[in-house]
Amino acid sequence: MSDKEKLTIVSPQEASMINAESARNFEKAYHELIFAVERKFPDETRHETALRYIREAEIPKEGMAAQEPTL
């Protein structure tokens, strides 16, 4: 059996704790992103403005060579 095929058995309580920690980490990162938006657009939420900024930044600008994102 390869390492990828090995499963770790956890109790429901341990799984719940892992899920709760993952949720806390996600929430912390999300709030960091949202509160980086100091001034939102009128009639938009901070989420919508952040999404607008990200989408606009991802559009290649005229004269710029297209680059593949790094993962």
Summarised one tens digit per residue, pLDDT across range 13-50 is: 888 888 888 899 999 999 999 999 999 999 999 999 99
pLDDT tens digits along 46-65: 999 999 999 999 888 776 66
Which residue segment(s) compose the domain that 28 sits in? 14-58
Q: Is residue 5 part of a domain?
A: no
**Helical (H) or strand (E) element with 58:** helix 46-58
Query: Residue 38 carries which side chain, given as an amino acid letter?
Result: E
Q: Is residue 63 part of a domain?
A: no
- pTM higher than 0.85: no
Q: Is residue 4 part of a domain?
A: no
**pLDDT value of position 32:** 93
Query: For residues 21 and 50, what is the distance between their CA atoms, to the nearest angstrom?
Result: 25
Q: Please give the biggest Cα pair distance in the chain.
A: 57
Whether the Cβ atoms of residue 60 and residue 66 lie closer than 8 Å to each other: yes
Structural domain count, the chain: 1
Query: For residues 1 and 21, what is the distance between their CA atoms, to the nearest angstrom?
Result: 30
Q: Is residue 9 part of a domain?
A: no
